[in-house]
Structure 1
Amino acid sequence: MSCYDTNIYKVARLKAGKTQEGAAEALGISVESLKAYESYSRLPPAGVVDRMCVIYDALYLAYQHNRIASGDVKVIPEIEVLDLPRASIRLINRVIQFAEKRRDRELLTIAEDGVISPEERPLYEEIVAELDGLIQAAMELKVAEAKEL
């Protein structure tokens, strides 16, 4: 199950072992506000999310919040919260696979004339998808590193 299948604020609070009342008090907000955030009736402001990250010991929550707050923007990839070794291995594997396919040289060839031709488009889209995977793995590593602190 993805961490986005349920409310991220509630999941972080429950993982921290906090009740709504205790969390609301620690966050300096009302229980009603917390309930609204945990039902997605309202998105919490950045300051509240910052405090949630600290109080719940869940720095990844900031990333998840930004992804949700961005709406339909697909620039921020969905990530899996991994431990540091798994996140490191995933990133290194993606880099090795990209290099072994010589995607850097293929991208240079496509970009050389400044135009992506219809014939080049499928390969270009494959390369961009692989780069998206690299970005995702790098973000997972960043979140894993923050989690370890």
Structure 2
Amino acid sequence: MPEICRNIYKNARKAKGYTQESAAERLGISVESMRAYETGLRIPNTDIVKLMATIYDAPYLLMLHLEETNDLYRAVIPSVPQYSLLRASSMLASRVFAFADSHADRRLMLIAEDNVVSPEERPEFEEIQNDLDEIVQAALAVKIAKGGEA
């Protein structure tokens, strides 16, 4: 298991100011389980991670957990940095406006209208996909932003 995975739960707990004992009590788990999660001996199940995110006021923990434990997630979803709500919101707006200003939406529709991406269209299609990945990344950054709601 990657080093970061062993520490994401510990970092979120410490950021909230909880001891292992107080966090374990709030989560309804044993201190031994808490230690196992924080040292990488065990991976917490989804329900525990959701509860950690709520109790620690750390919605970003959900994404970090998925990034570290799920290959499929990493293959589909771009890595999401953690920003302030203001920065994440302005990044999202700027990417959406740039996409619209470049008329990428119209270019995408022209490419897709025959339901085939031809070899000639492939480079532009991939460029549009990259732009969309940046928009998705920025939207998810808003969702998990410091100061935002879960």
Deviation at 1:63, TM superposition (A): 2.6
Identity of aligned residues (%): 49
For residue 136 of structure 1, what is the amino acid of its counterpart? Answer: Q
- Check 1:6–1:29 CA distance in 2 against 1; reply closer, same or farther (3 A cut): closer
Cα pair 1:84 1:148 within 8 Å, conserved: no
Instruction: Show the 5 A alignment for 1:108-147.
Output: 108-144=109-145, 147=148
Partner residue in 1 for 2:52: 52
Deviation at 1:5, TM superposition (A): 7.5
Cα pair 1:13 1:56 within 8 Å, conserved: yes
Deviations 1:87-142 (A, max 9, x none): 11000000111112111111112112221111111111110011011011111112
Cα pair 2:7 2:39 within 8 Å, conserved: yes
Deviations 1:63-103 (A, max 9, x none): 32233332243222221222221111000000111112111
For residue 90 of structure 1, what is the amino acid of its counterpart? Answer: M
The separation in 1 between residues aligned to 2:20 and 2:72, in whole angstroms, is 29
Structure 1: which 5+ runs fail to align? none
Taking structure 2 as the reference length, the TM-score comes to 0.85
Partner residue in 2 for 1:29: 29
For residue 45 of structure 1, what is the amino acid of its counterpart? Answer: N
SS in 2 for 1:43: coil
For residue 108 of structure 2, what is the amino acid of its counterpart? Answer: L
For residue 87 of structure 1, what is the amino acid of its counterpart? Answer: A
Structure 2: which 5+ runs fail to align? none
Between 1:122-131 and 1:106-115, the stretch displaced more is 106-115
The separation in 1 between residues aligned to 2:107 and 2:84, in whole angstroms, is 33
Taking structure 1 as the reference length, the TM-score comes to 0.85
Deviation at 1:39, TM superposition (A): 2.4
Number of residue-to-residue matches in the alignment: 146
- Tell me the C-alpha RMSD between the 2 structures: 2.1
- Check 1:95–1:6 CA distance in 2 against 1; reply closer, same or farther (3 A cut): farther
Please list every run of at least 4 consecutive aligned residues from structure 1 whose deviation after the TM superposition is greater than 4 angstroms. none
Partner residue in 2 for 1:65: 65
For residue 134 of structure 1, what is the amino acid of its counterpart? Answer: I
